């Protein structure tokens, strides 16, 4: 066989994901897009904000912007990001603490390459974004999975038990994909203390990699605790894939807290990783376009309306789910233990959702409501029929 045995095994293990997508495509071809309710992907359906399109138009005539640049990105863009993070965190964040990256996915890979030696461990909190395990493996690390509490908040005792001599980092994602949970200020503070104490006891630096692409998608006026305020060795990985609906443009960034251990060498290592992973630098026009848009985002109120409608719909027919505080996902309990079987039953009703198993949390399923409102309305009879099939009763 030509390809790597490891990659072959990943393809095999993930083959049910491929089968699900193939089945979704088949349903759409057979019954028409209008009659399939696709809640499977977190892909914002709206156009980016008007301000972004204006920026891009004005850049078209600007000379000299398409060339190579410093690997960390344009200095003025890094400055704009630093100003915004400094204002939010209250810390003296500067341009030299920022690396512009190819999306949040690129940012996480760059940070992991900069941090990991072979066999070092990275703690993931389940449920987690599917790609984390692969990203950790890309750089020779080992993933250690810790479950969250019943209500999907952090289980700090379980986290404490998971940290040992080989731990290099914890990856946290808030607002969370797939649960929509925003970790509280108290939890982030406690996590900061835990990492500080463990680091001291073990005589090593343990980093928090805070994955925040949904940072601006917050509901009900909830505030977002800034990790830099509570965690010394914190690195933020994020992007404008969701808040500016630019997922295909691949623009994001890394920011290290000015309180990080070994800060200068950490930054040098991340710039080196950005270069040698072959990204070289983040897309030039996108960097320039987002520089002045750090305070801009898509219409959050319309996401909140979709969240409210779906929450009302699902609980109304008997599904058990928490109300998300951010991001654009719901993570209800599957009415049967086997979430893959449940997801297949949903497909037969033309509802496409993702099984919790894929996020390290079986017995649940994920609904992405980054979909048009009219699709939610069209899906109502299918949800009612699905709930009826599993004998659910309105709560």
Q: Which residues bind ligand PLP (CB under 6 A)?
A: 42, 103-105, 129, 173, 177, 211, 213, 239, 241, 247, 252
CA distances from 188 to 99, 172, 226 (A): 24, 10, 8
Q: Which is nearer to ligand PLP, 289 or 317 (CB)?
A: 289
Least distance from C-beta 225 to ligand PLP, angstroms?
17
Of 182, 217, 214, the C-alpha closest to 307 is 217
How many C-beta atoms lie closer than 10 Å to residue 182's C-beta? 25
Least distance from C-beta 200 to ligand PLP, angstroms?
30
Q: Which is nearer to ligand PLP, 241 or 321 (CB)?
A: 241
User: Which tokens belong to 46?
Assistant: 């709206």
357 CB-side CA count, 13 A: 13
Least distance from C-beta 158 to ligand PLP, angstroms?
20
Distance CA 202, CA 282 (A): 36
Least distance from C-beta 113 to ligand PLP, angstroms?
15
Of 270, 278, 231, 276, the C-alpha closest to 254 is 270
| Residue the block writes with tokens 């233990």 | 337
- Pairing mode, if any, of strands 329-330 and 121-126? unpaired
Of 168, 161, 62, the C-alpha closest to 120 is 168
Residue 238 has φ and ψ, to the nearest 5°, of: -155, 180
3-state secondary structure of 364: strand
Least distance from C-beta 151 to ligand PLP, angstroms?
19
User: Which tokens belong to 337?
Assistant: 């233990």
Least distance from C-beta 169 to ligand PLP, angstroms?
15
């Amino acid at each position: 066989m030509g390809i790597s045995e490891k990659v072959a095994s990943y393809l095999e293990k993930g083959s049910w994901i491929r089968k699900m997508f193939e089945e979704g495509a088949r349903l759409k071809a057979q019954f028409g897009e209008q009659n399939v309710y696709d809640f499977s992907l977190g892909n914002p359906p709206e156009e980016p904000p008007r301000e972004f399109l204006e920026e891009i138009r004005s850049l078209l005539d600007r000379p000299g912007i398409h060339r190579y640049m410093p690997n960390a990105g344009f200095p003025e863009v890094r400055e704009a990001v630093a100003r915004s993070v400094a204002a939010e965190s209250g810390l003296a964040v500067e341009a030299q603490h920022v690396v512009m990256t190819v999306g949040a996915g690129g940012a996480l890979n760059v940070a992991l390459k900069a941090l990991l030696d072979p066999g070092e461990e990275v703690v993931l909190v389940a449920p987690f974004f599917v790609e984390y395990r692969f990203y950790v493996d890309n750089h020779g690390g080992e993933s250690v999975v810790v479950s969250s509490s019943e209500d999907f908040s952090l289980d700090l005792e379980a986290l404490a038990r998971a940290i040992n001599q080989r731990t290099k980092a914890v990856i946290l994602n808030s607002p969370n994909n797939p649960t929509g949970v925003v970790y509280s200020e108290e939890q982030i503070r406690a996590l900061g203390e835990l990492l500080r104490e463990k680091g001291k006891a073990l005589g090593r630096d343990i980093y928090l990699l805070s994955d925040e692409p949904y940072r601006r998608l917050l509901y009900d006026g909830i505030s977002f605790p800034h990790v830099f305020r509570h965690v010394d060795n914190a690195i933020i990985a994020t992007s404008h894939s969701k808040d500016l609906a630019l997922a295909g443009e691949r623009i994001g960034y890394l920011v290290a807290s000015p309180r990080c251990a070994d800060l200068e060498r950490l930054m040098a290592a991340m710039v080196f990783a950005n270069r040698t992973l072959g990204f070289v630098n983040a897309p030039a026009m996108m960097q320039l376009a987002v520089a002045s848009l750090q305070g801009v985002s898509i219409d959050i109120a319309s996401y909140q309306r979709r969240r409210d409608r779906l929450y009302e719909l699902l609980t109304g027919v008997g599904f058990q789910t928490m109300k998300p505080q951010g991001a654009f996902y719901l993570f209800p309990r599957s009415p049967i233990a086997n979430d893959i079987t449940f997801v297949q039953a949903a497909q037969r009703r033309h509802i496409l959702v993702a099984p919790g198993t894929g996020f390290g949390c079986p017995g649940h399923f994920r609904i992405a409501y980054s979909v048009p409102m009219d699709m939610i309305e069209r899906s109502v009879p299918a949800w009612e029929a699905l709930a009826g099939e599993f004998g659910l009763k309105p709560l």
